[in-house]
């Protein structure tokens, strides 16, 4: 097994020593970081927005990011993402695990070219790995991390925030959280047969639910949760690989 972590907002680099590498893929070049855990296990890291937060969610080269992982022999990916709560049962300052998605994106390539994916039509059952989710949930409970549970994630196009009417619609459709980056990231990993899990960090309540959503407010929560989230990832990888 070989693990990779994909970081999002305010989770842009590994908190351990690493070296930088450029991976050339059929979809473009990708800068990745290689780090080594205390047990000697290597971990691959990619900041999905690119160096210096160059790409907004609609402009991320998701196919290059995931194909680079495939070329490096990655078998398991943990995606980290700032998410907003659509449901008051999901509390700001907690983590959640994504177990399904609703796709509200508009202009993103959702699959690899046919010669690269494993199936003509990729199935979306268990697109978020139940095995990884179970293992992460056990660690979250053992470590007593603030946890809101498992959630259906609604992915919007961005980069604007959602309207209050949109958030009400997402809630009616069954979403508990909303974000802008896990689609097509998760289904692309599925295209190539990789196990994928996503840890959502509840950084805000969605528009119309409480106070106004701001970038500063989101950043504050993400910086506070950063250490706990990376520790969770590292402990999972060490428990499975070392």
Residue 184 lies in a domain: yes
Residue 14 lies in a domain: yes
> Looking at the chain, how many residues does it have?
242
Rg of the chain over Cα atoms, rounded to whole angstroms, equals 17
Contact 45/7 with Cβ under 8 angstroms? yes
User: For the whole model, what pTM was predicted?
Assistant: 0.94
| Domain count along the chain | 1
Residue 29 lies in a domain: yes
Residue 100 lies in a domain: yes
Q: What is the pLDDT of residue 225?
A: 83
Contact 232/239 with Cβ under 8 angstroms? no
What rounded mean pLDDT belongs to the chain?
Answer: 93
Residue 238 lies in a domain: no
- The CATH number covering residue 167 comes to 3.40.50.1580
Which alpha helices (DSSP H) does the chain contain, by range?
A: 62-71, 130-142, 164-173, 182-191, 215-241
pLDDT in tens, 179-238: 999 999 999 999 999 999 999 999 999 999 976 656 666 667 777 888 899 999 999 999
Residue 242 lies in a domain: no
Tokens 């990708």 sit at which residue?
30
DSSP code string of 24-78: EETTEEEEEEEEE-TTS-EEEEEETT-GGG---GGG--HHHHHHHHHHTT--EEE
Q: What is the pLDDT of residue 53?
A: 67
Give 29-35's long-range contacts (Cβ < 8 A, gap of 24+). 29/64, 30/61, 30/64, 30/65, 30/68, 32/68, 32/72
Tens-digit pLDDT string for the chain (242 aa):
899 999 987 787 888 999 999 999 999 999 999 999 988 999 999 999 887 667 999 999 999 999 999 999 999 999 999 999 999 999 999 999 999 999 999 999 999 998 998 888 999 999 999 999 999 999 999 999 999 999 999 999 999 999 999 999 999 999 999 999 999 999 999 999 999 999 999 999 999 997 665 666 666 777 788 889 999 999 999 987 66
Q: What is the pLDDT of residue 242?
A: 65
Residue 198 lies in a domain: yes
Cα–Cα dist 13/81, whole Å? 13
Contact 156/101 with Cβ under 8 angstroms? no
Residue 240 lies in a domain: no
The whole domain housing 125 covers 3-233
């Amino acid at each position: 097994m070989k693990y990779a972590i994909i970081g999002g907002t305010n989770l842009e680099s590994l908190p351990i020593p690493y070296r930088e590498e450029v991976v050339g893929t059929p979809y473009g070049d990708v800068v990745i970081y290689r780090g080594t855990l205390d047990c000697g296990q290597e971990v691959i890291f990619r900041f999905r927005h690119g160096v210096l937060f160059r790409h907004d969610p609609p402009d991320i080269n998701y196919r290059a990011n995931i194909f680079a992982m495939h070329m490096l022999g990655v078998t398991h990916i943990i995606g980290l993402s700032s998410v907003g709560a659509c449901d008051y049962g999901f509390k700001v300052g907690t983590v959640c695990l994504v177990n399904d998605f609703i796709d509200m994106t508009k202009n993103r390539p959702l699959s690899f070219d046919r010669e690269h994916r494993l199936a003509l039509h990729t199935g979306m059952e268990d697109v978020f790995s139940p095995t990884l989710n179970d293992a992460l949930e056990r660690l979250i409970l053992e470590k007593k991390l603030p946890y809101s549970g498992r959630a259906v994630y609604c992915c919007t196009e961005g980069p604007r925030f959602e309207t209050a009417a949109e958030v009400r619609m997402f809630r009616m459709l069954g979403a508990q959280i909303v974000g802008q980056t896990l689609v097509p990231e998760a289904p692309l990993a599925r295209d190539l047969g990789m196990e994928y899990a996503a840890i959502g960090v509840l950084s805000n309540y969605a528009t119309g639910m409480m106070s106004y959503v701001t970038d500063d407010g989101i950043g504050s929560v993400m910086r506070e949760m950063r250490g706990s989230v990376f520790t969770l990832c590292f402990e999972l990888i060490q428990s499975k690989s070392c």
